[in-house]
């Protein structure tokens, strides 16, 4: 998967977690926590959805890498680059 495709995956997950949110304005450099008021429960959901949809396993110590869109994509790239886009 390309970086752009991984970004789409993450965006899709955010859409399902926060259905009432307008994500078209999302700033990739700013923390999700500050932009979307995501808390630790929501980060668990991002992790669980990645596991469910793409079999990507993220250890708890690595959750910090999911702070913003940029950091999430950077973290996921090595893990997801060989996964086919579905």
Partner 1 sequence: MYDTIIIGAGMSGLAAGIRLAMFDQRVCVLERHTTIGGLNSFYRLRGRDYDVGLHALTNITPKGTKKGPLAKLLRQLRMSWDDFAISSQLGSKIIFPGVQLRFDNDIALLRSEVKNEFPDQVDNFDRLISEIADFDDLGSDEQHISARVRVAEIISDPLLVEMLFCPLMFYGSAREQDMDWGQFSIMFRSIFLEGLGRPHAGVRLILKQLVRKYRELGGELKLRAGVKEIVVDGGHATGVILESGEQLEARRVLSSAGWNETMRLCDDGQPVTLRQSGRLSFCETIASLDLQPQELGHRATVTFFNDSNKFQWSVPEGPCDVRSGVICSPNNFAYDEALDLGTMRITALANFDYWHGLDQRQYQLEKLRWYERITASAVRFVPDYRSRVLDTDMFTPQTIVRFTGHDNGAVYGAPEKQLNGCTHLPNLFICGTDQGFVGIIGSILSGISMANQHCLRD
Residues that bind partner 1 (CB under 8 A): 16-20, 36-37, 39, 41-42, 44-45, 48, 51-52, 60
Burial 21-58 (b: 16+ CB within 10 A, else e): eeeeebeeeeebeebbebeeebbeebbebbeeebeeeb
Closest distance between partner 1 and the C-beta of residue 55, in Å?
12
Closest distance between partner 1 and the C-beta of residue 86, in Å?
17
23-27 long-range contacts (CB < 8 A, ≥24 apart) are 26/69, 27/69
In terms of CB distance, is 3 or 45 closer to partner 1? 45
Closest distance between partner 1 and the C-beta of residue 18, in Å?
6
């Amino acid at each position: 998967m390309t970086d752009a495709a991984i970004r789409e995956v993450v965006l899709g997950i955010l859409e399902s977690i926060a259905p009432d949110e307008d994500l078209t304005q999302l700033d990739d450099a700013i923390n999700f926590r500050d932009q979307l008021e995501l808390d630790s429960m929501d980060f668990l959901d991002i992790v669980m959805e990645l596991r469910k949809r793409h079999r990507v396993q993220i250890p708890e110590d690595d959750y910090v890498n999911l702070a913003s869109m940029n950091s999430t994509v950077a973290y996921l790239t090595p893990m997801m680059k060989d996964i086919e886009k579905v």
